[in-house]
Amino acid sequence: SQLAEENPWALSVHEGESVTVNCSYKTSITALQWYRQKSGEGPAQLILIRSNEREKRNGRLRATLDTSSQSSSLSITATRCEDTAVYFCATDPDQGGRALIFGTGTTVSVSP
């Protein structure tokens, strides 16, 4: 089973609408990161939220973290066509390995 999973698997919205991607994870973490991967590119970090933080904002992006339920969400407001991408959550485990572990990804499509 996956150590981190996003849901839903895919989302479609129109420009200007808001969209939320959810992530559930199974390990104890020091931080959780959200990355965006556009077609043909490598992932690019959007937000890093540490385990002692509950919310983090970056422009139109807002991430939440609930360590008790081991879940996180990423919301994008006023979406644009260029927000079309795969969105991954990635966990920094606080024990065992230190490697950043990616979830399965949510494909977000924003149409005009």
Partner 1 sequence: GPKVLQIPSHQIIDMGQMVTLNCDPVSNHLYFYWYKQILGQQMEFLVNFYNGKVMEKSKLFKDQFSVERPDGSYFTLKIQPTALEDSAVYFCASSTGGQAETLYFGSGTRLTVL
**Of 63, 65, 86, 108, which lies in the binding site for partner 1, with binding defined by CB under 8 A?**
86
Residue 74 CA to its chain's centroid (Å): 5
8 Å CB contact between 51 and 42: no
Place of tokens 């994870």: 25
Residues 6+ apart with CB under 8 A from 54: 64, 65, 66
104 binds partner 1 (CB under 8 A): yes
The interface region with partner 1, picked from 16-24, 52-60, 69-77, 87-95 by CB under 8 A, is 87-95
User: Which residue has tokens 């970056």?
Assistant: 58
- Report 15-74 residues binding partner 1 (CB under 8 A): 30-31, 33, 37, 39-45, 48, 50
Q: List residues binding partner 1 (CB under 8 A).
A: 2, 30-31, 33, 37, 39-45, 48, 50, 86, 88, 90, 92, 97-105
